[in-house]
Structure 1
Amino acid sequence: MQSTNSQKDKLELIDKIIHTEDQSTLDFLKEVFSDDHSKYELTDEQKLILEDATTKYYSGEEPSFTWEEIKNNARKSFNEKKS
């Protein structure tokens, strides 16, 4: 049995979908809910970027951050821009 929050979330999403007029949003949702997710492939350029980033990560050339560090850095940057 689903929780009340899950049911509420579903109903809110359905309502938003019903009232959306943006075709690109509808196309995106259709793709998300499609059974065929194998259509998307990285381009050769994207693969090279990913391989380069992975190499730098494993070599220690580029620092890595925890999710908490990323959130804190984003908040700090946002607050500095507001000031």
Structure 2
Amino acid sequence: MIQSTQLQIEKLNLIEKIIHIEDENLIAYLNAMLLENTNEYKLSVEDLSTIEESRSKYLSSEDKGKSWDEVKSNLLKKRDERL
């Protein structure tokens, strides 16, 4: 398989970034991600149930949802709490 020049550049950039990572937890996380079958992501039955419940509430106007800014802010807070 012949790869585009841009794809090769992006891969080299990632390798360069990985070389400079000192955080062992981040290395372990990246290693786990690379070892997983990344071509296919499967949601658990619980995840699917949660999504369907949220969707039903949204469609029935029981839950009005959140703006992208609210979602982004909440995700950033959760990420920062984990670090």
TM-score tier (shorter):
0.5 to 0.7
TM-score (norm 2): 0.53
Where in structure 2 are there 5+ consecutive unaligned residues? 74-83
Change (3 A) 1:52 1:16: same
Q: State the Cα deviation string for residues 45-72 of structure 1 (Å, max 9, x = none).
A: x78755542331243322357xxx73xx
Aligned length: 65
Percent of aligned positions that are identical: 31
Partner of 1:25: 26
33 and 49 in structure 1: CA distance in 2 versus 1, 3 angstrom threshold = same
Match of 2:76?
Answer: none
1:3–1:47 Cα change, 3 Å: closer
Alignment-derived partner of residue 2 in structure 1: 3
TM-score of the superposition, structure 1-length normalised? 0.53
Moved >3 Å (runs of 4+): 46-52
RMSD: 3.3
Structure 2 distance, partners of 1:24, 1:34, is 15
Max Rg structure: 1
Residue pairs, 1:1-83, within 5 angstroms: 1-35=2-36, 50=51, 52-63=53-64, 70=68, 74=69
